[in-house]
Structure 1
Amino acid sequence: MSDIENREPDEGQEEEIERIPAMQHLLDNPFLLLFIGIAMPTVFYIVWGIMEIISIPMAQ
């Protein structure tokens, strides 16, 4: 490694704080991904089931 990479910032220089993107926060959290992976299919299947029940014609 070169000296430039290992140098500490001078007293007059401020460290740049790098913003972490929201999508990276989402993808770095395995429990949130697990919740989304279980919740989203559940919601879609419930909505699909309700649509199927509503589309059944009434018996006369």
Structure 2
Amino acid sequence: MRIDIDTDVCIGAGQCALTAPDVFTQDDEGYSALLPVRPGDDPLAREAARACPVRAITVTDG
């Protein structure tokens, strides 16, 4: 599973961190960031991508 965050699009809504707290966090400025250690295939990561109000997160296989 590959997770990408478009930091130019992210508005810091925090839905990703609320939906998948083992995968996402928010950086010092409040924008989405991946946690350093994350599960290889967390189904909540896909839910977090869907929950993003500006679609800044993409999750792909591979």
Higher relative contact order (CA 8 A, sep 6+): 2
Q: TM-score range by the shorter chain?
A: under 0.3
Structure with bigger strand share is 2
TM-score, structure 2 as length reference? 0.20
TM-score, structure 1 as length reference? 0.21
Structure with bigger helix share is 1
